[in-house]
Structure 1
């Protein structure tokens, strides 16, 4: 086969050499030789890099170790956390709720717990207010809020404090951990009292902060956010002895925490920072001002609209009527002291006590005292007064233990002050005499009178007027409060018998042994004296003043104990008591107690003024109520221009007028002596008649002009 003679192309491409294009001459000229680095800078750069690598190597390892330790600590703490339901009531002691005679709450004592609430059922306004005030990122952090901590440190440093002093940046979860005391229970052998235990739980240090953070992380792992918030709302102290939002809502507003409006929710949330100081029962205006700040926070965080804010600020939260009563004052304290301590002051249970208090009568007594001191007592006077109002069976309906009525735990002059009774004691002298057969119209001679007292010499009592009135009846002697007849009667019937009658009527204080017993030289308390006068009103039987009617545990229908007072044994005959009431009614109707006279009904009573006017009393009764009034100075300074028939009688009058508003009029159960017949007019003496004259003209003139 012939070929065409053309050369065939090779089967493999020929090897080609890649040529680098030549650079322009200008570029070759601009290229500079490589400059050598500064060895010193290079050295330090290498050192810094090495240090950084060492620190980073150590840091991430330490971080891993810390994370593992924290994780183990959180895991362990998680296993120790109790069930959610057991955390809701953390009180070491129980509460006492006091009800008045109608069954309405008027006071609380102890650690009150209104009942379990949760974040789902509580008022949204309270829930939002707490979050806005205490932890606005509550639903976003895992229990510890680094942003909040950094912000708190910045604020503390800016205000010149240490980084951990002042604002702590604690979340609600961390605060709840402190409320739980990190799971440490109160132990009486380790702490002197609960206050010391709480103070130890609140102590702040780096170690405590770390423990708090671990506990908070464990809680967030164990419980839901709403469960943590529920524990916080149930355990937080909100002032006034109220633990938890439900107790506080009932305590201050008389309603459930589920029904709080924005201003009320804001007020409770505002208490969390300083519950005792900001409590509305301590200073309502200060509490309202704090609530307005909380409302502003709620607005900025979108929980309230502008219109809702305007309404809340225009209508600040107000206290309920029971809260206005300031925890029942003196009466509540007295009832608490009258019950067994393990059910009152030291109770570990929630106790309900029904009492004899009538809140209408309590207000009447308070208003009367305030009126007299504002209108009749000089401004700046330090004089004190006390009032007790009770029924004839000894049931105390109202009690004022001093001029400051809005107090708790204060000195109660109605039950704790032992003072000389003065002439207010005289009814027991005459009660003894009437029981022995004397009568209201029995006569005693008021004349100079002296006794020789062994060891003391001659004693000659005098009347207040320093005059003598001769023969007077017992009723007149009591009406004018004459001293000499009272001493004479006491000596005639026997001092020991007088002492016994007074003691049987309920005066338990030590009674004087000498003849001055009849003039009230002995001391007694206002409640004892008022109770003794109640025995006169009820017909001569003793009474034991009482305020506690029933005591039961919360939720139990069967009372654990009943009343410890009431009518006791008979002391004098009913006829003697009726005569004595009549005699005492003359004291008010024209006697030394005239200022106590009531405008629409009968009243009876007795004045009392002690030596140098250190004490002034008026005690008396209508057919329905007995009331006692004492006035004096706590340091025994003599009163100026005051006797029992003066200001005390006026306080008594103002009290009883208010007490009897709307009460039907009833007569006193007293003897009513038959009116003495009017003296018969003297017989008209007939004129001696002259015999008729025989002179007709003379007879006519005598018939016209008369005469003889």
Structure 2
């Protein structure tokens, strides 16, 4: 210990750290730099700050409401879709949902020629139809059909944009509907037809097609429900069976048979394109209405099929170069006037109001119908001044009343139009005179008896003096009954009618089928009473068949499609009771044959054929008629104006006789001429029907009858 008072040095162990420096005292850690406190954002002051804060609040509020509202709406829609889906019936039960049935008419050859109602040719499936047809429908109507869930937001947005660009409302014009939505519309969203709510099926369908915002919403829900309940092919099957495709066809099977006479499983690309094109506007694009318009629409479908890879470019070019051709019977255009008449003659519960699919066999002969239509067109093109509004009608029937053809007006392809052959009641004029002569022959008079064609005047009570004239304003004096008929002289017809008695004349006319009220006065013989062309033609058929009445008919047999071998009813007409003796009918036929050979009907003459007939022109030339017959057919022709305007220079022996000639020349082409069932009189002309004294007495009797009638 040192006592010097100096501080002792620190003891260090030598050699503890070899070759190393003695440890240094650890440096104290530097304090971490102080974080600068975050300064609060500077609040905007003034109006801009207030506006910004307000809009921020509104945005957050709207966004909060939107996503919550969307969630709620989505939940409601999901519940609605699931509920609707649970109520849907099986897909099979929805294939044929027509509220009414159909009527298919067959001609004398057993071929379909006319359709009425909603034609349904049987159920098809998406697998059973031609792939060409299935692809054409999908390519045209809904190219994303197999990928969407019933609605297509992209399609709806595109439709709205297109509608707005066209200047329409958002819901006016294109709808952007998927095939599923269109099917929902065809099903009227599950609401069946109710006759107490809708007047008819057309009103029901129009209501189902209404486009309102609410209906669009419910349609979308129903479509999604269908997607949840059915497979894609089941939905497409319903659509293929229920779509309306024009000309009364419901479903693609009916349309394929209607237009091409083949099954929907056999259609080629061109035919498939035409059928699919009808979906846009069935009535406008129906090929039976305008074939060129149908082809134009089909070409658009062909391009869509090619663009979407359903057909090759080569197939597309072939379809465009060779558009679909219609079957021969497709040109019948629903049968026109004849089919309308048959529908009217059958019971309504099997025709217009049927809920069944009905098949009607008829007497219709398409060859004769074409002959009549062609003849009428030819005469109006070559014999009638251009722009004339005159009308005409033709009826061709057999001697038993079986109607073979009917033209009810110049628009020969019309259906549902006014039928002048069956609906127009017109005065018959001299066409009535054969019934006067039939009554006389039945009472024992001879075709060669003499009757006076002299001036005649009568004082008609309430009308003054009546002095009937012959058409040529001349009088021939004593002539035979045959000459009086073939020259269509009025005075002899009046005298003969008064001689045999008006009651006898009325009885004969009524017996032959003239159902309208017949005149009571002496003008009865001049045809002042009204009748229809089909009725008058049927009456002349009674003369041809030997004197028995006939009821004109077209319906031969009616049955249901589901049981075609069991007829529910037979022919609706035919030969009835005898009216005059066969001998009288044969004599009258000979007298009417002279009308063609040397009288007013010479323009109807056809070389090599025996023809009998009679012309008729009414007072003021408002109606002109000609009815004639061969051994095979009776054909009637009427011409006139619908508004009763007088014809200019037209008589029954003129244009009507020429229409008859043109019609029958075509009808008889290739047929073997048969003789008429007629009996020519023998010997010289017989004595007069009445002497001059008898004629004077008869006139006095007529005047007394008229005086008594007036009192």
Question: Given the alignment of the two structures, is residue 233 of structure 1 paired with residue 240 of structure 2, yes or no?
Answer: yes
Relative to structure 1, the CA distance from residue 17 to residue 136 in structure 2 (aligned partners, 3 Å threshold; closer, same or farther) is farther
Q: Out of 325-334 and 290-299, give the one that drifted further.
A: 290-299
In structure 2, the residue matched to 1:39 is: 43
- Residue 385 (structure 1) shift: 0.8
- Show the counterpart of 1:491: 498
Structure 1: distance between partners of 2:321 and 2:376: 34
Match of 1:175 in 2: 182
The answer to whether 1:660 aligns with 2:668 is: yes
- Within the candidate set 622, 641, 645, 2:649 is matched to 641
Aligned pairs (5 A) from 1:98-497: 98-497=105-504
Judged with a 3 Å threshold, the aligned counterparts in structure 2 of structure 1 residues 64 and 455 are, in CA distance, closer, same or farther, namely: closer
Taking structure 1 as reference, are residues 14 and 46 closer, same or farther at Cα in structure 2, changes over 3 Å only? farther
Do structure 1's residue 611 and structure 2's residue 611 form an aligned pair? no
Question: What SS is found at the alignment partner of 2:556?
Answer: strand
Residue 314 to residue 18, structure 1, CA distance change in 2 (3 Å)? farther
Of the candidates 516, 526, 529, which is equivalent to residue 536 of structure 2?
Answer: 529
SS at match of 1:487: helix
Shift of 1:478: 1.1
Match of 2:628 in 1: 620
Q: Secondary structure at the match of 2:334?
A: coil
- Structure 1 position 432, deviation (Å): 0.5
Change in 2 beyond 3 A, CA 1:428/1:147: same
Aligned mates of 1:14, 1:52 — CA distance in 2:
66
Partner of 2:607: 599
Instruction: Report Cα offsets for 1:26-75 as digits up to 9, x if no partner.
Output: xxxxxx99998543399899988776665554444333322221221111
Q: Distance in 2 between matches of 1:453 and 1:165?
A: 69
1:162–1:15: structure 2 CA closer, same or farther, 3 Å change rule?
farther
Counterpart Cα distance in 2 of 1:18 and 1:206: 81
Q: TM-score scaled by structure 2?
A: 0.88
Q: After superposition, what is the alpha-carbon deviation per residue over 1:576-628, rounded to whole angstroms, capped at 9, x for unaligned?
A: 11011111111101211111111121100011111121111111100000001
Q: Is the 8 A contact 2:95 2:238 kept in 1?
A: yes
Cα separation, partners in 2 of 1:456 and 1:163, compared to 1, 3 Å: closer
**What is the Cα deviation at residue 149 of structure 1?**
1.8
- Contact 2:447 2:681 (8 Å CA) reproduced: no
Q: Are positions 1:590 and 2:598 aligned together? A: yes
> CA offset at residue 159 of structure 1?
3.0
**Residue aligning to 1:71:** 78
The answer (yes or no) to whether the contact 2:392–2:408 under 8 Å persists in 1 is yes
Matches within 5 A, 1:56-67: 56-67=63-74
Q: Secondary structure at the match of 1:326?
A: helix
In structure 2, C-alpha distance between the alignment counterparts of 1:449 and 1:112, rounded to whole Å: 62
Q: How big is the shift at 1:310?
A: 1.5
The alpha-carbon distance between structure 1 residues 584 and 15, as it changes in their structure 2 partners (threshold 3 A), is: farther
Q: CA RMSD in A?
A: 2.8
Whole-Å Cα distance in 1 between the matches of residues 460 and 168 of structure 2?
76
The offset of 1:509, in angstroms, is 1.1
Secondary structure at the aligned position of 1:165 is classed as coil
Shift of 1:228: 0.4
- Count of matched residue positions in the alignment of Structure 1 and Structure 2: 664
8 Å Cα contact 2:102-2:115 kept in structure 1: yes
User: Comparing 247-256 with 129-138, which one deviates more in the overlay?
Assistant: 247-256
CA contact (8 A) 2:360 2:558 kept: yes
Could you tell me how far apart the structure 2 residues matched to 1:167 and 1:586 are? 69
Q: CA deviation at 1:210?
A: 1.8
Give the corresponding residue for 2:90: 83
Distance in 2 between residues matched to 1:475 and 1:36, nearest whole Å: 129
Which SS does the other structure have where 2:279 is aligned? coil
Per-residue CA deviation, residues 437-464 of structure 1 (Å, 9 max, x unaligned), is 0111122122223344444444332222
C-alpha distance in 2, partners of 1:355/1:457?
51
Between 1:440-449 and 1:517-526, the stretch displaced more is 440-449
Change (3 A) 1:595 1:51: closer
Secondary structure class of the residue paired with 1:364: helix
- TM-aligned CA distance change 1:119 to 1:17, over 3 Å: farther
SS in 2 for 1:288: helix
- Partners of 1:270 and 1:203 lie apart in 2 by 22
Give the equivalent residue in structure 1 for 2:693: none
The 5 Å alignment of 1:540-551 reads 540-551=547-558
Query: What pairs up with 1:490-529 in 2 under 5 angstroms?
Result: 490-529=497-536
Separation (CA, whole Å) in 2 of partners of 1:485 and 1:273: 66
Partners of 1:675 and 1:68 in 2: CA distance: 105
In the alignment, is the contact (CA less than 8 A) between 2:604 and 2:661 conserved in 1? yes
Q: 1:108-139 CA distances to partner (integer Å, 9 max, x unpaired)? A: 11111121111111122221121111111000
Normalization by structure 1: what TM-score? 0.89
User: Cα distance, 1:83 vs. partner?
Assistant: 0.7
**In structure 2, C-alpha distance between the alignment counterparts of 1:256 and 1:675, rounded to whole Å:** 68
Larger CA deviation: 588-597 vs 312-321: 312-321
Gaps of at least 5 residues in structure 2 are 1-13, 686-711
Q: Confirm whether residue 92 of structure 1 aligns to residue 99 of structure 2.
A: yes
Report which stretch shifted further, 244-253 or 394-403: 244-253
User: In structure 2, what is the Cα distance between the partners aligned to 1:67 and 1:471?
Assistant: 101
Pick which of 450-459 and 515-524 moved more.
Answer: 450-459
Distance 2:287 2:161 in 1: 32
Cα distance in 2, alignment partners of residues 151 and 371 from structure 1: 52
CA distance in 2, matches of 1:199, 1:437: 66
- The CA deviation at 1:651 is 0.6
